[in-house]
Structure 1
Amino acid sequence: MQGAIEVILRTFTAFILLWLFVMVLGKQTIAHRSYHLYIASITMGTIAGNLAFNVKVKFLYFIIAIILMGTIVFMLNWVTVQKPHIGKWIAGEPATLIQNGQILKQSMEQMGYSLQSLKQALRAKDIFNIEEVECAILETNGSLSILKKEKYQNATKQDLNLLSPTRNIPVEMIYNGEILYANLTENGYDEEWIMTELKRRKLDVNDISYAVIGTKGNLYIELFRMQLK
């Protein structure tokens, strides 16, 4: 009887600790938005399962393991947000599989993503013809984001002859007060251009929380909240 009571107490404790883990680290833990969160979810589930039923291991050891794992994930999340150039190695980064309507075979090989897997993911998006796709990006959580060619989009632009000559993918320029130089060079921009745009708006790089070039070529800027106040 005493053993059954211990299992019940351990089970309740495991549930509460997992609940706190998700509450503290956010809903992105459930969605497995990155590599480290996916690993953490599996590890925490294993620890909690053992805490509930493995009475041979001391209760305190499981508590220490859960607190340690939670601390590690919290620190990795902080680095991912504050230092995006380092965070991409922790959380991973999206991979472009189709660009300008062309399949990027080298990118697919690097990701270990087969053509059959690509077709299956497209069918899940109600796309049965790869020819309809302008751009496809494999996100860090394994989902596939799709941008259709304009003539295949669910709109009346084609019928109204309102097709724009070009359409670009949004390009992040500044994040958390730091210029993303790799994005600048890869998309035909340079530091001089972004600094000129900021000067015209009487802004400094340190003022900006997030800046991105939209699909229409416009520059969208979001300031830090304190400065907005």
Structure 2
Amino acid sequence: METLIIAVLRTCFSFLILLTVSIWIGKQVNSHNNHYNFALSVTLGSFIANMGFDTNLKFTPMLASFIALIFMYLISSLISIKNRRFRLWLSGEPTVVIENGKLLDGNMKKIRYSLDDLNQQLREQGIFDLIEVEFALLEVSGKLSVLKKTKYQSVTKNEIVSTNTSVDIHLPIELVMDGKVVEKNLNSQYSSAWLNQELQSRNLQLKDIQYAVISSNSSLIIDLYNDHLKSPLDQE
């Protein structure tokens, strides 16, 4: 009877701990948006299961290990915010599987992604013909992000495009992330000199920029660390 009561109390206490942690860092863990978060959530579940049901294990050492895991997660999260290379190693990068309407077989083989998987995920987005796709990227989470060709995109009320107008579409090019230039994305058109000139014309310095990208319509979009918003929206 005593063992039963202890098991019930341990389970209730463990559940409260997990609930508290989920409220605290739940958005990142629950989303499973990368391999690290997936592994962390599985490990947290294992800890809670053992803390609650395995009465042969002492509760205090398990709790200490659980807390240590949480602190390890927080430290790695802080490092990844400031270090893009560490963040990419920890979280991974999306893989382009369709570019300019053509399948990239080499990339698909590297990630062991079959045509059946591709077609299934396209169908789930209402796309039944590969001819409609301009670009497709397989995210780290396993979800497929798709950019349709212009003529297959839904037209909104604000978009009145002449049928004779030709619009060039390309994959967005990230030039700056976390105040650092993404060197591998620079080319003859978007060179370091061009970027510096654009920043000078806007009276900006590289250290002030959180994110800069060439959009799919060739526009330079810049997001600053300090956006000078008087009342930033804080709705979750």
Give me the TM-score of the superposition, normalised by structure 2.
0.89
Say whether the 8 Å CA contact 2:212–2:220 is kept in structure 1: yes
Q: 1:161 is aligned with what amino acid?
A: T
Q: 1:165 is aligned with what amino acid?
A: V
Say whether the 8 Å CA contact 2:98–2:134 is kept in structure 1: yes
Residue 50 (structure 2) pairs with residue 50 (structure 1): yes
Partner of 1:172: 174
Aligned length: 228
Partner of 1:155: 155
Structure with higher helix content: 1
Partner of 1:221: 222
Moved over 3 A (4+): 156-160, 226-229
In 2 relative to 1, CA 122–7 (structure 1 residues): closer, same or farther, beyond 3 Å?
Answer: same
Q: Any gaps of 5 or more consecutive residues in structure 2?
A: 231-236
Farther-moved stretch of structure 1 (203-212 vs 22-31) = 22-31
Say whether the 8 Å CA contact 1:80–1:91 is kept in structure 2: no
How does 1:117-128 map onto structure 2 within 5 Å? 117-128=117-128
C-alpha distance in structure 2 between counterparts of 1:46 and 1:163, whole Å: 57
- The C-alpha deviation readout for 1:71-98, integer Å capped at 9, x for no partner, is 2222222222211122111101100000
C-alpha distance in structure 2 between counterparts of 1:25 and 1:164, whole Å: 46
Q: Any gaps of 5 or more consecutive residues in structure 1?
A: none
User: What SS does structure 1 have at the residue aligned with 2:186?
Assistant: helix
Residue 106 (structure 2) pairs with residue 106 (structure 1): yes
Say whether the 8 Å CA contact 1:25–1:74 is kept in structure 2: no
Q: Offset at 1:227?
A: 6.4
Partner of 1:209: 210
Q: Out of 178, 186, 192, which is 1:184 matched to?
A: 186
Q: Offset at 1:52?
A: 0.6
How does 1:77-88 map onto structure 2 within 5 Å? 77-88=77-88
Q: Offset at 1:137?
A: 0.4
C-alpha distance in structure 2 between counterparts of 1:199 and 1:65, whole Å: 51
Q: What is the alpha-carbon root mean square deviation over aligned residues?
A: 2.1
Q: Offset at 1:139?
A: 0.5
Q: 1:202 is aligned with what amino acid?
A: N
Q: 1:180 is aligned with what amino acid?
A: V
Say whether the 8 Å CA contact 2:134–2:148 is kept in structure 1: yes
User: What SS does structure 2 have at the residue aligned with 1:189?
Assistant: coil
Say whether the 8 Å CA contact 1:29–1:41 is kept in structure 2: yes
